[in-house]
Structure 1
Amino acid sequence: MKEIQEILSLAIPQPAMSDQLQLAEQDSVSVPDCLDFTLQRFTYDKPLPVEDVAMVIYQPAKRGQSAAIELRYCVAGSKYCKNPTCTDQLCSEGKKEACNDRVPSVDLITVRFQPAFIQSLQKGTTTFSLFENQSRKPFVKTIQPCTKSKSVLETMVHHDYEGILKNIFLQSRALDLLLYSSDQFMQNDTDERYGCRFLTHLEDREKIENARGILLEQLDSPITIRDLARRVAMNECYLKKGFKAMYGTTIYDYFQKERMEKAKGLLYEKGMSVSEVAMLMGYSCISHFSTAFKKHTGLKPCELLLR
C-alpha cells in the first residue's frame, strides 16, 4: 500500500485528490524465472490532474543473491466504458467518443524483474554492464515515461493473450520498458544516473514527501530550508539533494512555481485584485509580487486580468 501512495503522491500533487480514486480493475501475473507484473486501474468522476510518472528502483546483488530491478508507472489511462456490454476494445476502435458511459482512469503498473533473470541478461557481457561499475550501489530514480514507454504500457493493459502466450507477450513488452527507461536513467553523469543513495530507504523518501506537503500547505507563508528540515527531521543537505532528485527542481523553485500557480488561479478564476492576491500570497510589496509573477508566467498580474 505504501508503494501505491508513494507513486500516487508524485502523479497527483494534491494528496486529498487521490481519495477520489476508485479501484475498478486489478491483475497480477507471475512469469516464472522472469518477472512479476501487476496492474491496478482506478477510475474517478470529478476532474483530476494526473501527471505521468515512473520510478526505477534498483537493489544490488548481495550475499549470493542477484540484483533486482523494479519499474513502477502511474499514467493517465484512456477513458473506459462502465457499460458491461461495451468492451474497452470496442470503445478504442472508433466508438469511444460516442460512448456516454466512458470514464477516465489512472493505471498503476509495476514490473519487477526477478534477480535470476537480471543475472541471465548480464551473462557473457564483458564490455558492458547494465549499471556499469556502479552496480553495487542501490538507487531510486524518478523519470517521466517517454512516448514509447507509454505506448508499450497501453499494449500491456489491452491485449487478448492468455496462458503461455500471455507470459511471452508480457516478457517481451517488459524488456521494451527496461530498454526505454534505461535510455533515461543511464546518463554520463554518475550522480545523476544513480541519484541519492539514501533515497533507496522509504523512510527518507517519505520525509521529503512530507516536506513537499508542508510547502503546498503554506504557500502564503514562506519557510526556510532550515525550519523545513527541522520539521521533517532530516539533514538540510540531504533534504535539498533528495528533493531535487525526486522532483527535478530545487525547493525554492518548486515553492515559487506552486505559489505563482495558486496566485494565477486567484487572479484569473476568482477575479481577485492584484493587491488582494499579493497579500494572500504573503507579499508585503506589490511590486515584488508582480516581479515574481512575471518571472514565472511571462505576464504581469494586471496583464493577466485584461485577458
Structure 2
Amino acid sequence: MKEIQDLLALAISQPAMSDQLQLAEQDSVMVPDCIDFTLQRFTYEKPLPVEDVAMVVYEPAKNGKAAAIELRYCVSGNRYCTNPGCTDQLCSDGKKSEDCKEKKSSVDLITVRFQPLFIQGLQKGNTSTTFTIFEASAKKKPFVKTIQPCTKSKAVLEQMVHHNYEGVLKNIFLQSRALDLLLYSSDQFIQNDTEERYGCRFLTQLEDREKITKARNILLEQLDSPITIRDLARRVAMNECYLKKGFKAVYGTTIYDYFQKERMEKARGLLYEKGLSVSEVAIMMGYSCISHFSTAFKKHTGLKPCELLFR
C-alpha cells in the first residue's frame, strides 16, 4: 500500500485527489524463478490530472542473495468498461473499444519485480552489465529512481495489460515483455538525471524517500495538534532544509500548506458529514480561538464554517 501511495503522489499533482480512485480490477502473476507481475486498475468519476511516471527500485546483493530490481509504473489513458460483456478490445455490441460509451477513465499501476535468481542468471559471464551500472550509481545501497516512461515502454505496458494469453503462454509473454521494460528503463536510467526530476539528488536514496513519507504520515496522524518543522525533522532524523525541500519535491507543496489542506478537509467532513458544531470542530482541530479556525477554513474552502452547515 505504501508503494502505491508513493507512486500516486508523483503521478497526481494534488495528493488529496487520489481519494477519488476506486479499484476496478487487479491481477497478479508469478513466473517461477523469473518475475512477479501485478496490475491494479483504478477508475475515477471526476477529471483527474495524471502524469505517467515510473520508478526503478534497486536492492543490491546482500547476505549471499543476488541483487533484485523492481519496476513500477503509473500510466493513464487505458479504459475500463462497466459492461461485463465487454473486453478491453471489443465492446459487447460490436463497437470498437474506443467507441464504447460505458467506459470510464482509469489509472493503471503495474509492477514487475525481477526475482534475485533470475538477475543472477543474467549476470553470469558478464562484468559490465546494466546491474553493475546500478550498483555504481547507488554505491551498493538500496535506492529508488523516478523516470518518465518512454514511448516504447508505454507500448509494452499496453500489451501486458491487453492480451489474450493464458497459462504457460501467459507466463512466457509476460516474461518477454518484462525484459523489454528492463532494457528500455535501463537506457533511461543511464541517461536520466534524477536531480532534474526532483530538484534534489538525495531523494534517489530509498532511505531518504522513506523519511519524507514518514513525515507526511506523522502530519496526517496528528491533524489536531500542529507540529513544528524542527520537531518533525527530529522525529524523522532528517535535516530541516532537506526535509522542506524533499517534501515539496515529492508532494508538490510545502509542509505547512499540505498540513493545512488536510486539516481543513478533515474539518469539512466533521462539519458536513458528522454534523458537529463549529466550536466542537475548532477544538477538535486544535484551535483555541474559533475566529482563527473560521478564517483558516474560509481560506481553504471559500466558505465560513457556519455557511457550510446551511448548504
Tell me how far apart the structure 2 counterparts of residues 37 and 113 of structure 1 sit (CA, whole Å): 9
CA contact (8 A) 2:203 2:209 kept: no
Tell me how far apart the structure 2 counterparts of residues 245 and 192 of structure 1 sit (CA, whole Å): 11
Secondary structure, counterpart of 2:188 in structure 1: helix
Q: Would you say 1:130 and 2:131 are equivalent positions?
A: yes
From the superposition, tell whether residues 140 and 190 of structure 1 become closer, same or farther in structure 2 (CA, over 3 Å). Answer: closer
Q: Where does 1:97-136 land on structure 2 (aligned, <5 Å)? A: 97-132=98-133, 134=136, 136=140
Correspondence for 1:182: 186
Secondary structure, counterpart of 1:105 in structure 2: strand
Tell me how far apart the structure 1 counterparts of residues 244 and 187 of structure 2 sit (CA, whole Å): 26
CA contact (8 A) 2:80 2:103 kept: yes
Give the drift of 1:189. 7.3
Instruction: Provide TM-score, normalisation by structure 1.
Output: 0.67
Tell me how far apart the structure 1 counterparts of residues 153 and 28 of structure 2 sit (CA, whole Å): 20
Correspondence for 1:236: 240
Correspondence for 1:168: 172
Give the drift of 1:33. 0.3
Give the drift of 1:207. 4.7
Q: Deviations over 1:73-110 (max 9, x none)?
A: 11114222111122211159962343221111110111
Tell me how far apart the structure 1 counterparts of residues 195 and 45 of structure 2 sit (CA, whole Å): 41
CA contact (8 A) 1:25 1:42 kept: yes
Correspondence for 2:268: none
Q: In structure 1, which of residues 147, 150, 155 is the aligned counterpart of residue 151 of structure 2?
A: 147
From the superposition, tell whether residues 191 and 20 of structure 1 become closer, same or farther in structure 2 (CA, over 3 Å). Answer: closer
CA contact (8 A) 2:37 2:111 kept: yes
Query: 5+ residue gaps in structure 1?
Result: 214-226, 256-279, 282-307
From the superposition, tell whether residues 192 and 113 of structure 1 become closer, same or farther in structure 2 (CA, over 3 Å). Answer: farther
Secondary structure, counterpart of 2:46 in structure 1: coil
Tell me how far apart the structure 2 counterparts of residues 64 and 232 of structure 1 sit (CA, whole Å): 35
CA contact (8 A) 2:57 2:71 kept: yes
Correspondence for 1:79: 79
Q: Would you say 1:206 and 2:238 are equivalent positions?
A: no
From the superposition, tell whether residues 76 and 199 of structure 1 become closer, same or farther in structure 2 (CA, over 3 Å). Answer: same
Give the drift of 1:199. 2.9
Query: 5+ residue gaps in structure 2?
Result: 221-227, 258-298, 301-311
| Residues matched between the structures, number | 241
Give the drift of 1:16. 2.1
From the superposition, tell whether residues 163 and 201 of structure 1 become closer, same or farther in structure 2 (CA, over 3 Å). Answer: farther
Q: Deviations over 1:203-258 (max 9, x none)?
A: 31405767999xxxxxxxxxxxxx756545430353367468758x9x89xx9xxx
Tell me how far apart the structure 2 counterparts of residues 71 and 45 of structure 1 sit (CA, whole Å): 28
Tell me how far apart the structure 2 counterparts of residues 138 and 61 of structure 1 sit (CA, whole Å): 10
Tell me how far apart the structure 2 counterparts of residues 178 and 229 of structure 1 sit (CA, whole Å): 41
From the superposition, tell whether residues 122 and 246 of structure 1 become closer, same or farther in structure 2 (CA, over 3 Å). Answer: farther
CA contact (8 A) 1:139 1:195 kept: no
Correspondence for 1:65: 65
Q: In structure 1, which of residues 159, 165, 169 is the aligned counterpart of residue 163 of structure 2?
A: 159
- Percent identity between matched residues is 69
From the superposition, tell whether residues 245 and 128 of structure 1 become closer, same or farther in structure 2 (CA, over 3 Å). Answer: farther
Secondary structure, counterpart of 2:90 in structure 1: helix
Q: Deviations over 1:144-189 (max 9, x none)?
A: 1111111111100010111111111001111111111111222497
Correspondence for 2:225: none
Secondary structure, counterpart of 1:5 in structure 2: helix
Secondary structure, counterpart of 1:89 in structure 2: coil
Correspondence for 1:13: 13
Tell me how far apart the structure 1 counterparts of residues 150 and 62 of structure 2 sit (CA, whole Å): 31
Give the drift of 1:190. 10
Provide the alpha-carbon RMSD of the alignment: 3.4
